[in-house]
Amino acid sequence: MRTSLLLAAMLALGGCNYVNSVTGLSKDSDKAIGAACRQTGRSLEECYQRNPNADKAFIYAGWREMNEYMSKNKLETMPPLPEKQADASGGAMTSEGKPAGAPPAGGPLAGKSSEAGAHPLTSEEADRAAKTDPEVAAVVAAMHRQDGTGKPKGAVKGEQDQKRLLNIINEINKADPNRAQQN
């Protein structure tokens, strides 16, 4: 009886992550917090103050890994998102001092489509935007480059590879007729 109770308790607590994460965050989450602090240019001390319940060792490990990665790849820090401040009435305020729910200047459709409350683009709007986008134009131009045969570069080699693979499959099917019937 006692052994079965002990076994049941071990099985119930076997999936518990309490030992690895006293704060409720796993070590990977704490490392991600440190990496995010480094990527946004925050110091370790500020990161520790902003996340008092996270494990400082894992925050440092994530901060250090991101620092090495950014140095190796010559990446610049990203500015952190502006923090929302509360006004005297208790409502949320943006960093510009406007209420969080207020529409941006220039009307409801001004600004980027990624802002909260903006509607998703329709297919027609996306097509219009793509026609004037230089990145889209560069990709389309690269896709349409031709070598004079009327086919995009690399298409001849791709067709030869496909024919070769088709011949190999046909030979295998001829050698083993039962296999061809199974498919």
Average pLDDT, stretch 18-30?
Answer: 65
- Write down the pLDDT at residue 107: 45
The residue with greater pLDDT, 6 or 24, is 6
Average pLDDT, the chain: 72
Q: Where is average pLDDT lowest: 4-13, 44-53, 97-106, 160-169?
A: 97-106
- Domain limits, the chain: 20-80, 148-183
Q: Do 127 and 121 contact (CB within 8 A), yes or no?
A: no
113 pLDDT tier (thresholds 50, 70, 90): very low
Rounded distance, CA 91 to CA 97, Å? 11
Helical H runs in 14-154?
27-39, 44-50, 56-72, 123-131, 134-144
Q: Do 92 and 102 contact (CB within 8 A), yes or no?
A: no
- Write down the pLDDT at residue 111: 44
